[in-house]
Structure 1
Amino acid sequence: MTFAVSGVNCAAATPLNADLSPDLGLFAEHCHRLLAEGCHGIALLGTTGEANSFSIAERKLILEAALEAGIAGDQLIPGTGVAAGPETVELTRHALDHGVSKVVMLPPFYYKGVSDEGVYAAYARIIEAIGDSRLKVILYHIPQVSAVPLSLPLIGRLIAAFPDTVVGIKDSAGDLANMQAIAAAHPGFAVLAGADPLLLPLLQSGGAGCITATSNLIADSLRTVYDHTDDAALVEPAQARINAWRALSNSYVQIPTIKAMVGLKTGNAGWNRVRPPMLPLAAAQLAELEQKFAALP
């Protein structure tokens, strides 16, 4: 089956300078390494990328830095959904103006308890305001963070209204049954796992791939699972490695832990920096993480 977006896509972490501004050079280097290790695409400026801690101007600079470093527009999937609709439009138009057509779009997330009708109206208004046939929207379902879930009826309504634009969903709720239900109801609609261990069962259920945090570290194993889904001899050790790395990344607060693990992998301690309200791992946690990291398969 052909999808508008598929494969192993990294929810890329964003390195920071000492003043906590984006380290654009190191970010570009990271993107190139991810692609070399097996990623099909870079889903920058998402949850793992601390996107909502950056200004609109900074988000534009980060995307431009990746493009200027030679990353192709069709390999980039920036997050453009923010709480204010006009700013979502601005960020999405900026991506399109730079040759990037695929975006991950959160629903407006500040107000809680809103109806499906309200969420539909928000997405529809944004898509219609952009008014560009090139646009490919990947919906973002992460209710444990956004507190604005995307229900099956809402997803179906958006697909029906914008069939050439609303082409996929990143489901980070960790509910395989929900992802399987979306894939079954909408063949050809790209369902992307937000949790690394769920890539394999989702692919076996008609899913399109993943956008995950641990692909910052083990894109090669995820690519093995994606490329060789039916070859147990290759997939089983790759899946075991994915599970082990994911489990360690979840041992502490995930985003600073992912960044610390990237730092351990690359030998660059600058990766430990995060923007408040995130905080870096405490010294004792970092020492413990380093010991456990050394024992990973």
Structure 2
Amino acid sequence: MTTPRPFGRTLCAMITPFTEAGALDLDGAQWLAERLVADGCDGLVLSGTTGESPTTSDAEKAALITAVREAVGGRASIVAGVGTFDTLHTVELSLAAEKAGADALLVVSPYYSRPPQDALEAHFREIADASGLPLVLYDIPDRTGTRIEPETVLRLAEHPGIVAVKDCSHDFLGAQKVLSRTELAYYAGCDEHNLALYAVGGAGYVSTVANVAPRQLRAVLDAFDAGDTAAAARLQQRAIPLIELMMSSGLPGTVTVKALLAELGLPAGPVRAPLRPADREAVDGLLAAYESLTAG
């Protein structure tokens, strides 16, 4: 069976650049999007967790999609994060994203209210029914407090508008269970799982670390597709020190990405409160890991 890859293999969960004054930096977003696509990203996920969606306005989200679409044209897919804790608001954001030029919607399970599985299923179905765009389920229970259980995903897979999952569940068995019984495209949402999920039939990844190392992460999947699984494993292992510092050091990925991009002279800007910037010690560690990965 051919693995479905509706949005490509190598997607970046792109940051949302801001000016030093904290305003949306559309020029910076276009520059960064161009660079990411040139360096091997098949798609860009906007206004997700890494894109600081909780602290950007509806108007900013739409403007970001429009600007990035203008920059990359048809060279990359654009998946718009529209998930909120409010079904009606999520529908509104979905329609706005469609109008702004997105190719698909990333919809996280509603956070804080912790709906039971039947309510969660109804939430996703209502959003999928409302928009003409395909929907990506975003399962990240560590942040939302609510798992999209595998049995719920299996039922949702019957909806023609629900085509993919961004998997941050840390349930590798559950992911394989759904992969074996549906045609959903599964994207690794945790960089340490990029190769593992791909090897069992995943579609690719939606990566935070790709903001700073897109070529190095793509090389892992390229090696696997070329049949050199030993090289793929070696390249994945080489990326682990940076992945660990960026994603498991106690700082959110948004903070670590923006810290590194600033050090590299690339568009980033500050994080919005309640997030706070990384301190000098953390930045120095990130930079050392980045330089080790990208050397040679």
In the superposition, the TM-score normalised over structure 2's length comes to 0.90
Matched ranges for 1:125-204 at <5 A: 125-130=126-131, 132=132, 135-160=133-158, 162=159, 164-186=160-182, 188-204=183-199
Task: Tell whether 2:232 aligns with 1:235.
Answer: yes
Confirm or deny: 8 A CA contact 2:260 2:283 kept in the other structure. no
- What is the aligned-residue RMSD (CA, Å)? 2.0
Confirm or deny: 8 A CA contact 2:3 2:202 kept in the other structure. no
Q: 1:285 to 1:2 in 2, by over 3 A?
A: closer
Q: Secondary structure at the match of 2:18?
A: coil
Confirm or deny: 8 A CA contact 1:171 1:194 kept in the other structure. yes
Equivalent AA in structure 1 for residue 11 of structure 2: N
Residues in 1 aligned to 2:37 and 2:256: alpha-carbon distance in whole angstroms: 21
- Give the fraction of aligned pairs with identical amino acids, expressed as a percent: 28
Unaligned 5+ segments in structure 1 are none
Equivalent AA in structure 1 for residue 276 of structure 2: L
Equivalent AA in structure 1 for residue 173 of structure 2: A
- Aligned residue number for residue 117 of structure 2: 116
Matched ranges for 1:77-96 at <5 A: 77-96=79-98
Confirm or deny: 8 A CA contact 1:32 1:71 kept in the other structure. no
Q: 1:283 to 1:99 in 2, by over 3 A?
A: closer
Confirm or deny: 8 A CA contact 1:218 1:242 kept in the other structure. no
- Aligned residue number for residue 256 of structure 2: 257
Residues in 2 aligned to 1:293 and 1:99: alpha-carbon distance in whole angstroms: 33
Q: Give how far 1:272 is off.
A: 5.1
- Aligned residue number for residue 286 of structure 1: 283
1:120-159 superposed Cα distances (whole Å, 9 cap, x missing partner): 11122222233x3xx2100000000011210011111111
Residues in 1 aligned to 2:157 and 2:230: alpha-carbon distance in whole angstroms: 38
Deviates more, 1:26-35 or 1:196-205: 196-205
1:248-281 superposed Cα distances (whole Å, 9 cap, x missing partner): 21334032112111222x324x635100010001
Q: Secondary structure at the match of 1:78?
A: strand
Equivalent AA in structure 2 for residue 75 of structure 1: S
Q: 1:191 to 1:151 in 2, by over 3 A?
A: same
Q: 1:2 to 1:155 in 2, by over 3 A?
A: same
Q: 1:111 to 1:232 in 2, by over 3 A?
A: same
Q: Give how far 1:233 is off.
A: 5.1
- Aligned residue number for residue 58 of structure 1: 60
Matched ranges for 1:58-77 at <5 A: 58-72=60-74, 75-77=77-79
Q: Give how far 1:12 is off.
A: 0.6
Q: Give how far 1:92 is off.
A: 1.3
Residues in 2 aligned to 1:235 and 1:127: alpha-carbon distance in whole angstroms: 36
Confirm or deny: 8 A CA contact 1:9 1:40 kept in the other structure. yes
Deviates more, 1:26-35 or 1:85-94: 85-94
Q: Secondary structure at the match of 1:222?
A: helix
Q: Give how far 1:180 is off.
A: 1.8
Q: Secondary structure at the match of 1:77?
A: strand
In the superposition, the TM-score normalised over structure 1's length comes to 0.90
Aligned residues: 288
Equivalent AA in structure 1 for residue 93 of structure 2: L
Q: 1:117 to 1:290 in 2, by over 3 A?
A: same
Match of 1:206 among 190, 197, 201: 201
Residues in 2 aligned to 1:17 and 1:182: alpha-carbon distance in whole angstroms: 42
Confirm or deny: 8 A CA contact 1:16 1:271 kept in the other structure. yes
Match of 1:271 among 236, 245, 268: 268
